[in-house]
Amino acid sequence: MMKQVPAAFGVFLLAAAVSASVKAQQNTPLPPQDAATEEERAKDAVDLDQVIVTGVRAPKAVDRIPGAVSLVSKEEIAHTLLVTEDATAVLARTVPGYAEASQAMSNSGETLRGRVALRLFDGVPQGSPLRDGSRNATFTDMGIVGRVEVINGPSASEGIGAAGGIINYISAVPTKEGSEFRFLSRYSTQFKDDSAGWKLGLNYAYKQDNYDLIAGVAQIDRGMGYDADGVRLGMNTSGSVNDSVARNVFVKGGFNFGEDLEKRLQLSYSHFKIEGNGNYIQVDGCRYEPGWCEDPRPNTSERGQIFGSKAEFNDFRQVNLQYTDGDFLGGTLNLNAYWADQAMRYPPENGSDRQDPLIPPNGPDGLIWDQSEINSDKVGFRPSWVRGELFGVPGLELRTGVDWVRDKADQRLALTNRVWVPPMEYESIAPYAQLSWDIGPVTLSGGLRREDGELSVDDYTTTWFRDRRFVQGGKLSYQENLVNFGAIWRITDQWSVFGAYGEGFGLPNVGIPLRNISCPDDPNDTKPDGCPGDPPVSVDSTFRELSAVVVDNREVGVNWRGDTTSFSASYYDSRSDYGTSFAIDPATNDYVLFRAPTRIKGFEFSGDWNINEDWKLSGLYSRIRGKTAFWTEDPAGRFGAGGLNKPMGALDINPDKIGLSVRWKFNEAGDVTLGSTTLLSRDLSGSDVREFDNRTFSYEEHTTGYTLFDLGMNYRVEKWGRFSLGIENLTNKQYILTWSQVPGFRNYWAGRGRMYSFTYEYTF
């Protein structure tokens, strides 16, 4: 079970290639003043599971940083992989505030504490804040991931995009001297003719003297999924992992040098691609509606191909270079440079927003079928410096540096080569400084980050569905001072309490408001370069929807760690004066961003009990509630935004969640783990009246909860390797995914029924 512990919340520092920082900690002697400090801190730390690098650049004991972090261990990842290859399933099972896994290539609805999180791989952002396509959670083979660090709640420590927090997947590091190979094979099935899938993976680790290397290759071939009723699952309209092939290549090498091996140079390369096979097409289901759908049924699929379509995919590549000097001007210097190229293609659709009377239809139904494709590339440079014993004061530490990043993104309709979202570029430079001071059992911390960025957008013309309106490109500047402060008090060796305030900064998925610009309803609208009677539209003078999202978070928590038991609890209050939430566009039934004030409050708890050497119990609970306004501020200034009277539903906020697991180690060679995840039913409603025009607004949402069980069993045979059995949805529960219980375009998806996975692993 994951450990929820105090950690970097709102700490404005960068994780410069965090995996290298961990290696530096393991292999590089610290400068004298840092060594003494860390030696003293090591007395309180249980193991490396109590050390974090995300948000603080260099390794730091988590019980010195106020806030809440979830540390997902390699063992927890391995257990989840026994039952499913879904990249986010381990988060849904182990992180209290993380929503249910979508079971798709898309991570729509997968929020952290009700907001979108920034996802990193070894500190490198995945996806783009300019056009978040909700596909940035599927970017590597989980078999190469050593651990996951999750900063819960808004944070600016890793740059833009962390309104909900930070999820950093950290690649594995060699742990043994010499060479080690790890071969893994897996076969999964629901015992249907096309449900079989398999995985082959090989990892190589080498560690000798000052050098180390880790490399991995893997291929995952997934079959079709079926629900508990034996009905084939639908092909997710934002990208399905069913009927797909994923290939992954990862290489990371480094060496330590210098008189005391205090310097380290490390380089890593990753290339991951998951691609649909295109053997199935979507068959829409329907929700119950009297007179129209008396026999409700979720989406399904049937064999076939859509004429002229291309396979949907995620294609992610990155290069990450790190240099560390543990004795630079009395402190530790980190220099990190990275490059990342990320492309995402979506399945074909024939909706009204794809049509154009000037383009010949390409589908047998007389309509245009087209596929959206998002392309993003980014480069970044992140130098930082950490100095302990600042000014000779024991326990006083400075962490400072500067972030530079340039992110480019666009979105097009690939089959007809049309611009949907124009090329955009965001360039930012962000200096920061963070002080912390250990005063006996108390640690005080505070810092400032200055975000100074510029968004540039090219000229473009909207699609026919949006009236072919010409939009003049331009530039928008974003400047924000982001502060954080907090304290943690280690009352005894077992008890600690903390309080923290932190701010997060992000862009509002810029591509959505840009592509949705259109003219008001006007039958005489014939101009291709503007709307009748309207002035020309300019990016830098018109759209308040492009304003930054600034979120502040207040949090208090308590932690207790005994010899055999531990637990953590925290309460948080997250606010944004001009936030974002999801709504359904009545014209297209698609998701659109809604800009209005938001406030999210929540409570979460987690705990472990090691009954004895053979038995362990774990549990977690999360409750989140959010409110936004029914209407936003009028651009003409006639009225302000509404009050916080509209409940935020399943598209943004997960229902109450309970997670339980029990592990039985029946002998030295074998163990069994039974886990359960429960999402409770929820009823939401709210209303408001706008005084300006006496318009009445109301919202109502009802979702049905469910409980899923999973089982994992391992048995190691000497000289032969480890044999494992995983069973997902053990009781074969039929259910509709919570975020899919809310009406939307083709949005009615059942969850996966019982699936068996047989794994064989051999290390030599």
Other CB atoms within 10 Å distance of the CB of residue 291: 5
What is the mean pLDDT, run by run of 10 residues, along the chain of 764 residues?
A: 38 30 37 38 46 77 80 91 92 94 87 91 90 88 93 83 87 93 97 95 95 97 96 88 96 95 96 94 88 90 86 95 95 96 92 91 90 95 94 93 95 93 94 94 94 92 89 89 93 94 86 78 47 67 72 94 93 88 58 78 96 96 95 83 93 94 95 97 96 94 96 95 97 94 85 97 95
pLDDT, tens only, 301-333: 999 888 778 889 999 999 999 999 999 999 999
CATH, domain range 3-301+309-763: 2.40.170.20
Query: Which residue has 């297209």 as its token pair?
Result: 588
Domain boundaries, the chain: 3-301+309-763
> Contact 83/727 with Cβ under 8 angstroms?
yes
How many angstroms separate the Cα of 680 from the Cα of each of 634, 705, 708? 37, 4, 12
pLDDT, residue 3, reads 44
- Residue 607 amino acid letter: G
> Contact 74/22 with Cβ under 8 angstroms?
no
pLDDT, residue 11, reads 32
**Residue 329, token pair as written in the block:** 């001007």
Instruction: List the one residue out of 572, 565, 482 whose CA is nearest residue 68.
Output: 572
pTM for the whole thing?
0.89
User: Residue 270, SS3?
Assistant: strand
**Residue 281, token pair as written in the block:** 């097409």
**153 CB-near residues (< 8 Å, 6+ apart):** 9, 10, 67, 68, 113, 164, 165, 502, 504, 553, 555, 572, 574
pLDDT, tens only, 435-487: 999 999 999 999 999 999 999 999 999 999 988 888 888 898 999 999 999 99
pLDDT, residue 569, reads 95
How far apart (Å, rounded) are the C-alpha atoms in residues 69 and 493?
A: 19
How far apart (Å, rounded) are the C-alpha atoms in residues 756 and 711?
A: 10
Max Cα distance, the chain (Å): 81
